[in-house]
Amino acid sequence: MTARAYRLLPVAAATWVAAAVCTLVPGVARSAALAAWVCAVAALCLAAALRARPGAVARTIVVLALACAAAAASSVAFAQPTRSAAAELGVGGGRAIEVAAVVTGKAEEWSTGIVAFDAVASTITVGDDIHSVIAEVQVRAQPGSARPPIGAEVVVHGTARAADAGERAVLVVSARRLEVIRGPDGILAGAAALRDGLVAATSGLPEPGAGLIPGLAVGDTSAVGDELDAAMTQASLSHLTAVSGANCAIVVGLAFAAAAGLGARRSVRVAASVIALAGFVLLVTPEPSVVRAAAMAGAAMLGVLLGRAAAGTSVLALAVSLLLVADPWLSTSLGFALSVAATGALLVWARPLAAGMARWMPRALALALSVPLAAQLACGPPLVLIAPTVPVYGVVANLLAGPAAPAGTIIGLTACLAAPLPWLRSGLTAIAWLPSSWIAGTATTFAALPGAQLPWREGAAGMILLAAVGAAAGLLIAGRGRKGLRIASGGVLALVVGVVTGTAALSGVAGRLTLPGEWAILACDVGQGDAVLVRSAGRVALIDTGPDPRALDACLERVGIERIDLLVLTHFDLDHVGGVSAVTGRVGTVLHGPPASAVDGSVIASLQEEGAEISAATAGMQGDLGDAAWRIVWPVRESRAFPSGNEASVVMEVEGGGVPSALFLGDLDASAQRALAASGALRPPYAVVKVAHHGSADQDASLYALLAPSVALIPVGADNDYGHPREETLALLTASPVGRTDTDGVVAVWETTGGVALWRERDVGTDR
């Protein structure tokens, strides 16, 4: 690829930086826009004065970069007064508000059951005051809420807070009640009906392939089950149901070819392609990846209309620049960044990778492998920010599933548009089921293979490390760069792969050798949440599951635990039950706190359906765990003061059978702690106390003085947003050694002749 193809990259980079800075720090947008416009005009004048001298192209690029950066900053500056007015309505502090809005983004159900969507608010009512506004909001509705289509008018009753810097939404509205006042009109109503009709048409086909058909065709993943969704992610195939460049290319290509087949001239072919593309965007909803792909396709069509086939990277840079000027908040969208990275990688890396691999494999196979490999090398680093794992079989899975995706997309899209002919729609969906099932089978097969996910370092450091590994691998495969650079790349790659593979081994079977074999209580490092194991005579109890099933599964695999004899769900906050799917189907008995919603009930039902015996935990219940005895000391049966939630957390006492006397306080707050202390159910002192609520400040000092623990455990996530554990809580524990998972990693405790031993993963020593 020639240098000319990269000329517009500085323009896109300058626009992206300006948009990101101004959206993250909106107070500087006005001055940044003014300064950039002044510089752009000055650069234009200089370019005009020096037009006869060498370097004209470079000067033009500078002018364009400054102008686009100024335009992006101006977009933020123009929007800021309206955004500030909405943010300053005094809606925070938990005040009840009512928001009338129009839905502008696809409603999606999160793993917690919450239904989230973007909308534009027209009025916000606070008390008796009704404020007319035009403000972007994100609505987060309760589990089980309706998923309104784009264009629907809704009224939301709930509370709100200011959105984080860089978010397109001005307010985040937590809805206690969501009312759909009116559905979408016109074209949007027709698009929603087509999507719903396709989902309905697939309902009678066998799963899991049936649920994927709407996802492949129009990006509607509402029918995709949780297990298949997880498998698609683990096999690096989730992009197939995220409508983007490939789908837009198919639509544009089909429209262009159809017009050409009818003998239409070039301008008519382009017009037909643009109309088809616009209709497709409306049908699948304008998400960031779709908007990016549509803008790039539009720029390519412009090149065709002018008879000048633009280089792919120039088209991408132009599309990115225009999109960021129109919507600067895309600059902080991970989805937008991933789609740009994938497209750029295909343009820059796919051909060199294919040429490099063709030296030692058939050319056709090299070409097929180069596309998913280039995409994974580019998208892997930013994806580490979401989940610190690398899909080991992603390239092979894409190689096998990739050919089925276009067939599923074309046939499924045709079925979607065949609404007036139900018999034709049914036949087409049945045909589309074949490639869809192939993709679903590929995903589930590769996700189930050993070592499907390679653990990786979290955060920005992990992203940079994986980017370096990807660059080194790309250079080696493509055979590019000087010999010394390739040798250095090979050395770096070997070192990093060795370290990561060793780390992965230690997190699995070999990791058991790094843990003290005599542990009786072990706090898993699962992030901001609780997951504590208790073991006696080969029997195991798990108190809470943490927020992430992958983190819990990794801990259980490392410790070598296959079955949980007793699972205690102290309450149903996500940081205590979010990882429950990791143990579903391998639990004997479940004790749980008071459920507060239908979602809580579904957690219990899923465990019961897989064979677990279910009991609601109340004070006075007791039983055995191996040679140890457990007893529930809280909550009190039918307590009106603490009906559910943190205050009604199950508090369990365990002792004997090699387990030091231990008390696990769930997430009790200070008022519930005082009630517990006054209940007379406790038998202090305790050798081990699991501190309540990750060490929050809401603690009762007199309770900890009464308990007098020899060791305190604090399961807590590193760099959490709550400041846990709080200094005032740690001050209550100065007489006790503290094991905390944020700084210590896995923490283990066991009984010794002289008392208890505390082992910290990141501390070679052991406190006794």
723 shares a domain with 702: yes
Top mean-pLDDT range of 170-184, 346-360, 446-460, 491-505: 170-184
Single-letter amino acid code for the residue at 556:
L
pLDDT bin (cut points 50, 70, 90) of residue 306 is low
- In angstroms, rounded to a whole number, what is the distance separating the alpha carbons of residues 580 and 351? 44
- Same structural domain for residues 208 and 285? yes
pLDDT at position 505 is 47
* 201 touches 429 (CB < 8 A): yes
Whether residue 300 is predicted with pLDDT greater than 80 in this model: the reply is no
CATH number (domain holding residue 654): 3.60.15.10
Reply yes or no on whether the pLDDT at 253 is more than 80.
no
Helix (H, G, I), strand (E, B) or coil at 131: strand
Are 653 and 720 part of one and the same domain?
A: yes
Write down the pLDDT at residue 73. 93
Q: What percent of the chain has pLDDT over 90?
A: 26
Same domain, 126 and 212: no
For the chain, percent of residues with pLDDT exceeding 70:
88
Give a yes or no: residue 367 inside a domain: no
Q: Which domain holds residue 60?
A: 3-81
pLDDT of 497 > 50? The answer is yes
CATH at 140:
2.40.50.140
pLDDT at 511: 46
* Same domain, residue pair 126 and 73: no
103 and 43 in a common domain: no
Domain boundary among 184, 216, 246: 184
- Asked if 151 and 283 sit in the same domain, the reply is no
359 within a domain of the structure (yes/no): no
Residues 321 and 247 placed together within one structural domain of the fold: yes
pLDDT tens-digit series, residues 598-640: 778 888 988 988 889 999 999 999 999 999 999 999 988 765 5
33 lies in the same domain as 180: no
- Indicate if 116 and 148 belong to the same structural domain: yes
| Residue 462, domain member (yes or no) | no
pLDDT of residue 509: 45
Task: Return the closest-CA partner of residue 746 out of 755, 729, 758.
Answer: 758
Q: Could you tell me if residue 350 is inside a domain?
A: no
Q: Does 412 reside within a domain?
A: yes
Residue 499 in domain: no
pLDDT for the residue 160: 83
585 and 519, same domain (yes or no): yes
- Number of domain units in the chain: 4
Q: Considering the domain boundaries, does residue 703 fall inside one?
A: yes
Report the chain's mean pLDDT, rounded to a whole number: 83
Of the candidates 158, 184, 210, which is a domain's last residue? 184
DSSP 529-552: S--EEEEETTEEEEE---S-HHHH
Q: Which of 403, 396, 475 is nearest to 435 (CA)?
A: 403
Residues 586 and 532 in one domain: yes
The mean pLDDT value for 428-439 works out to 92
pLDDT value for 453: 73
Asked if residue 512 has pLDDT above 50, the reply is: no
Q: Nearest to residue 99, comparing CAs of 185, 179, 188?
A: 179
- On whether residue 741 sits in a domain, the answer given is yes
The arrangement of strands across the sheet holding 659-664 comes to: 622-625, 628-634, 651-656, 659-664, 688-690, 711-714, 738-740
The pLDDT of residue 696 is above 70: yes
Q: What is the pLDDT of residue 261?
A: 84
374 pLDDT band, cuts 50/70/90, is confident
* Residue where a domain terminates, one of 81, 111, 137: 81
pLDDT tier, 459 (very low <50, low <70, confident <90, very high otherwise): confident
Q: Rounded to an integer, what distance in angstroms lies between the CA atom of residue 564 and that of residue 585?
A: 10
